[in-house]
Amino acid sequence: MPPATLTELIETTAARRPGAPSLPGVTWAEAAASVRRIAGGLARQGIGPGDRVALFLPNRPGLLLLLLALARRGACAVLLNTRFRAAELGPLLARAQPCAIAVARDFAAVDAAAVLADVPAAQRASLRLAIGVDGLGASEVAGLPALPLGALADGAEAPDAAAPDADCLTFTTSGTTAGPKLVLHRQRGIARHAQDVAARIGTDAPGAAFLAAVPLCGTFGLAAAMAALAGGAAIHPMERFDAAEADALIRGAGITHLVGGDDMLLMLAAAAQAPFAPFAFTGFANFHGKADRVMAESARLNLAARGVYGSSEAQALFALQDPAGPHAATGGGTPASAEAAFRIAEDGTLLLRGPSLFDRYLGDAEATARARTADGWFVSGDLATAQPDGGFAFATRAGDALRLGGFLVAPEEIEAFLLAQPGVMAAQVVAHEGRAVAFVIAGDGYDEAAVMAACTARLARFKVPARIVALEAFPMVDGPNGRKVQRAKLREMAGG
């Protein structure tokens, strides 16, 4: 039987590849032993089945070890973005009711203690312990006793209390449409998806190594990291993405697997002066409409880039494109799991099924019920089209689709045309009063009149923007899977 818990997942990998590298300077056998000892420390602190622990951490080895140790205890990790501040953190803590929170007190980018202290006392009342995933000793964080992770690992191992149906972890939705939700997954779904993706992208190949440059608090980063774990690939976390550092790490550590948004990959490409040793897999999300540029740089650098699809509810890498196929640059593809399926409703909405899907929205039964059809399909909220090879192509979020001249139009259609015009570095299109309004980042050679003339000459009349607005930068929001454009803010600006 394949592993159905995270304990079984890491123990299987450790038994298969005991001496192979897992995290920097650690073998898989050593990583599994650390997880067992940390679980013992959690048990001594009274943390066990049914408890929740918030992880407010950057990408570092301790995050993954603690996540696996919580699973071994039958406890649930609440993954929180380190870009969150008190106004975002407080409501999530109040809803999740964690008994402890893990912080990195030596992470220069975030003063975790100050952020936590700024959360109203009533919203963090469930907390009784802080865990320092850092090199510092015992202390206090926002009035909580703080134990270093090393102290938890300095003792007896805990017996395995993991269960396939135990609550495993929550992702936080970005909140760019409705309010943020805590998306809860069970251990079976996380473990099974990790194995399915590992088999699809080849993290079980000898010498495979994954660069964890995307935040592990989000599904994009975590699903890929769990696939690396399932396959036995080495995992190299980056606390903050820096293109020059990533370039050096790729070459020095022999990185073969990577995921990232189009903007991140283009930053890496700008720092890379020479091709890399051929990658096995780079999965990318076309957050900013730069897929064609990504594919060109992928060919130059040997990144083996291809479009992927996922969500917090379905997990990232739910579907992947064929790297040699005609749709490699498009988000979507065929499901990673042989037991997963999709269908496209009459209105274009993408519906999903499969073992990777979430269990529920924590504390929100109404939203959970709305997210599924009567016959059990998850309503993704995305629009998609079927591809001839049996896969699907992501078009846009349903809420972002434009109703123009009586037609439903994906903004990416117009954005792609604008990006092909001289001087247009980036483009976003929203609707206002039934007309398209375009926002662009202009570079050398940009001529607004010439771009508008090209639109008028070559686009259907209902797709031609009523106006084009040049901005220095788009309004952005920091989500757990990367930075995204605030289309809602652009819609406000279009009406201004």
pLDDT tens-digit readout, 44-99: 999 999 999 999 999 999 999 999 999 999 999 999 999 888 888 999 999 999 99
User: Which DSSP symbol is given to 462?
Assistant: G
β 281-285/257-261 pair status: parallel
What pTM does this model have? 0.86
* Whole-number Å distance between alpha carbons of 427 and 450: 15
Whole-number pLDDT of residue 175 = 46
User: Which DSSP symbol is given to 233?
Assistant: -
Residues in contact with 413: Cβ distance below 8 Å, sequence separation at least 6, in sequence order: 463
397 forms bridges with which residues in the sheet?
Answer: 382
**Fold topology of 203-398:** Rossmann fold (3.40.50)
At 270, is the pLDDT very low, low, confident or very high (cuts 50, 70, 90)? very high
Amino acid at site 22: S
At 407, is the pLDDT very low, low, confident or very high (cuts 50, 70, 90)? low
Residue 205, classed as helix, strand or coil, is: coil
Residue from 132, 167, 128 nearest 55 by CA: 132
Does residue 454 surpass a pLDDT of 80? yes
Residue from 454, 427, 429, 424 nearest 442 by CA: 424
At 36, is the pLDDT very low, low, confident or very high (cuts 50, 70, 90)? very high
Sign for the CA dihedral angle at 49, 99, 4, 66 comes to negative
Distance spanning both ends of the chain, measured CA to CA: 59
Does residue 176 surpass a pLDDT of 50? no
Same fold: 203-398 with 401-494: no
Amino acid at site 474: F
Average pLDDT for the chain = 93
**What are the angstrom distances between the C-alpha of 108 and each of 15, 101, 211, 428, 446?**
37, 18, 21, 33, 39
Instruction: State the angle between helix axes of 28-44 and 6-16 in degrees (0 to 180), rounded to the nearest 10.
Output: 150
Does residue 265 surpass a pLDDT of 80? yes
Domain covering 401-494 assigned CATH 3.30.300.30 in the classification:
yes
Whole-number pLDDT of residue 41 = 98
At 362, is the pLDDT very low, low, confident or very high (cuts 50, 70, 90)? very high
* Whole-number Å distance between alpha carbons of 251 and 235: 14
At 477, is the pLDDT very low, low, confident or very high (cuts 50, 70, 90)? confident
Quick check: 392 and 451 in contact, CB under 8 A?
A: no
Domain chopping of the chain, boundaries: 6-184, 203-398, 401-494
Looking at domain 6-184, its CATH class is alpha beta
Residue from 448, 464, 447, 467 nearest 456 by CA: 464
Sheet holding 52-56, edge to edge: 139-141, 144-148, 129-132, 100-103, 52-56, 76-79, 167-172, 182-186, 360-361
403 forms bridges with which residues in the sheet?
Answer: 408
Quick check: 81 and 172 in contact, CB under 8 A?
A: yes
* 315 CB burial (10 A radius; 0-12, 13-18, 19+): buried
Quick check: 408 and 402 in contact, CB under 8 A?
A: yes
